[in-house]
A and B are shown apart, each in its own frame.
Chain A
Amino acid sequence: SQKIEQNSEALNIQEGKTATLTCNYTNYSPAYLQWYRQDPGRGPVFLLLIRENEKEKRKERLKVTFDTTLKQSLFHITASQPADSATYLCAYDRGSTLGRLYFGRGTQLTVWP
């Protein structure tokens, strides 16, 4: 069955450093990946979407890469701030299951001053 894995449950970094989160997938090659942010007790919020033919995508301090050979997406937050502390989820869909996203378990990022 399809699997999407985020290989770190938690990541702690110092303010100002770059946070790098990893998302790996197996058994299926998605046409695109999405990244969401979730704060405690709240619903996920969409951040970025990257398609398989895009190597990299940026939005302000965020950068996402997509390596279809490695079956991996990396999510970077540069110049991290304590306000970036949250859980970050990657997700993809399958063309045959519209309206359904497959989510990883998430990586809880803590940025300390």
Chain B
Amino acid sequence: KAGVTQTPRYLIKTRGQQVTLSCSPISGHRSVSWYQQTPGQGLQFLFEYFSETQRNKGNFPGRFSGRQFSNSRSEMNVSTLELGDSALYLCASSPGHRTDTQYFGPGTRLTVL
């Protein structure tokens, strides 16, 4: 089975711009979770989608949003970028039940200048 893929792998934006990141989960997985990872804060949960519905949301401002399509692919969007949004954005897929292992993609490295 193909693993989780994320595009793009690297992105450079300037403050005030917006960005869309894409994640394709493992075939058959219905849950996609997004995390932000920074050296200072570690892995922080953004949100999780299951069958096109946002099921959980972390403590991030409304500038961070996401969606999931009927084929389980997911996108996350960050509007009005700030310098502090520079991070590795990881998506993880799983079948969607408790105790599920999460399978992570390689991440998108976002740099905001």
Which residues of chain A are within 8 angstroms of B33 by Cβ–Cβ distance? 99-101
A99-B50, A101-B45 are known contacts. Are A46 and B99 too (CB-CB below 8 A)? no
A43-B92, A43-B107 known; A97 and B102 CB under 8 Å? no
Query: Contact string, B77-110, partner A, CB cutoff 8 A, digits 1/0?
Result: 0000000000010101010111101111111010
Answer whether residue B75 sits at the interface, using C-beta atoms and an 8 A cutoff: no
Near B by CB (< 8 A), chain A positions 98-113 give: 98-106
Q: Is the interface of B mostly helix, strand, loop or mixed?
A: strand
Interface residues on A, range: 20 to 34
Q: Does B43 contact A (CB under 8 A)?
A: yes
- The answer to whether B56 and A49 touch across the interface, beta carbons within 8 angstroms, is no
Nearest B residue to A48 via CB reads: B101
Interface centre among B43, B48, B49, B106 (most CB of A within 10 A): B43
Query: Footprint of A on B, CB under 8 Å?
Result: 4, 31, 33, 35, 42-43, 45, 48-50, 55-56, 58, 88, 90, 92, 94, 96-99, 101-107, 109
> Which residue numbers of A lie inside 8 Å of B, CB to CB?
31-32, 34, 36, 41-46, 49, 89, 93, 95, 97-106
